[in-house]
Amino acid sequence: MGPPPTSPPSGYGTGGSSPGTSAGEVEGSAETDEEDVDLADSLAFFANQPASDEPEWFDEEPTDSKVSDINAALDAALEAESSGISTDPFADKGTSVPPPPPPKEASPQLSPNLRHAAEVDAIPGDKLYVTLKEKEESVLNPDGSVRQQTIDGELILRNSSRKDRVWDIEIQLQNTGSTDIGGGAITVRELDATETTNLPYTASGPRMLIVSEHIDTEPERSQEPSLSMVFAKDSQEILVRLHVENVALVSLNEVVVRRALPDNFELDDGAEYDIKDGELIWRIGRLPVGESATLAVNPRVTTRTIQRFATGAVSAAYACEATVSRAEFDSVSSRARQFGYVSPREDDRPDVFYCKLVVENRSSFVVSLSGATVWLAGREKPFLEMHDLREDIPPEGLWDSLEKRIEAIDKPNFTHEINYSILPRANVESTGHLELKERSIKVLDAEVNKQYSISRIRSYVPSDLDCTTVLENT
């Protein structure tokens, strides 16, 4: 056996830390001591270590054959890299490293005072349901500008409990400037069990989706679009281009554009759209923030009469998890049958009490406890103070704090203030229906007549001749 292991010299860094010493202290001391390490002491420490039973990497001089093998491997790797051959270790197995998944789009913004609906739904118990719901009905010009807009909204409150009522409901809203809801603070005195109440409002101004249509009856020209056609027996090809753009703050879902096809329009099914019952249906689906989509088709149109004819109505619909007016929830608070009290427990020793705060939930709701303060009677300084709590008290359940010791001759009396609310389930949604003002195409038709002053002329002899041309727009 070799000599016993020697402890590292002072200042030599090791991988562990002694009990009772934080990682930060160990790391800081290591950085300070490493600067003072003497090279000779470090070498002496390694020289005194016992011989290891493990084989050494370089226990012998490399032979010429080993050096040749290493050089050959390096040359082969460099040649493969310069020729573009893949050196992926998965290449021989017919596989490759999968690409990283695309980044997920951020979900709609939610106030820090509220929780996402999925998280709330996962907690058993009744909640207070609050919903902002809006519907947009707009008429647009063909270029996408607004001719008329109507936004009808409603604030819906629903008590989901079958036995308990809710009172002191306070709702704080943000971004209500485009609405007539009456400010950001909404109060409701109470809601009986299973009761629902609606507060209607209207809004105007903001937009979610822009829809436009471009029609050109002579697309081969490099001039301004034409909205006239020549009266003819044969059908003529025109260009119809539809364009949509998401100008909302969230993604739009269920985006569908419909375009009626008059009887004199002929258009076959395409890869991006369907034709059903004389209507072109363009199903876009989800349209991310700031994105746009375009569909161009070339129907063949027949001019059956010389009268103007309509090109067909265009409409679009969408749905999203936000309001058109940009209004949103900031906070929602309400109360039910919850009680709080301080429970003092006398110790075996005289004049010593252990006290704790108890909050009881005597309703079917889930109660969210956010803070509490307890004062000992006759004192201004709080005996117990808790902030930024996020404790959920289940239906018919209770929550208690840690006990705190107090010395008093008599049993202490307390006052307290508890910040709690029924857990709200907030939801925001909107739908929209847009229509474009329908346009018409003018049909051009004319008769041309020519008259000459004489009916016959002599051969090889000059003659004076007057020609009258009459063009009549029929």
pLDDT digits (tens, 9 = 90+) for 325-382: 999 999 999 999 988 888 888 888 888 999 999 999 999 999 999 999 998 888 888 8
Q: Which residues pair with 393 in a beta bridge?
A: 367
Q: Is the pLDDT of residue 171 over 60?
A: yes
Question: Which tops the pLDDT comparison, 166 or 233?
Answer: 166
Q: What is the pTM for the complete model shown? A: 0.69
Q: Which fold has domain 209-323+439-446?
A: Immunoglobulin-like (2.60.40)
pLDDT band at 67 (very low <50, low <70, confident <90, very high): low
Average pLDDT over residues 289-307: 93
Q: Which CATH number fits domain 339-426: 2.60.40.10, 1.10.10.350, 1.10.357.10, 2.40.110.10?
A: 2.60.40.10
Q: Of the candidates 355, 382, 394, 386, which has an alpha carbon nearest to the alpha carbon of residue 370?
A: 386
C-alpha 216/C-alpha 212 separation (Å) is 14
Question: Which tops the pLDDT comparison, 61 or 228?
Answer: 228
Within this chain, domains 209-323+439-446 and 339-426 share the same CATH topology: yes
Cβ distance 296 to 272 under 8 Å? no
Question: Tell me, what's the pLDDT at 68?
Answer: 64
**Picking from 59-73, 96-110, 291-305, 381-395, which range would have the lowest pLDDT averaged per residue?**
96-110
**Picking from 7-11, 276-280, 323-327, 373-377, which range would have the lowest pLDDT averaged per residue?**
7-11
C-alpha 286/C-alpha 256 separation (Å) is 10
User: Which residues does 37 contact at the CB level (< 8 Å), separation at least 6?
Assistant: 9, 11, 12
Q: Of the candidates 291, 365, 350, 284, which has an alpha carbon nearest to the alpha carbon of residue 318?
A: 284
Structure tokens at 432: 């929209």
User: Which residues does 347 contact at the CB level (< 8 Å), separation at least 6?
Assistant: 353, 354
pLDDT band at 11 (very low <50, low <70, confident <90, very high): very low
Cβ distance 359 to 338 under 8 Å? yes
What is the domain partition of the chain in residue ranges? 1-53, 209-323+439-446, 339-426
Cβ distance 210 to 244 under 8 Å? yes
C-alpha 169/C-alpha 183 separation (Å) is 16
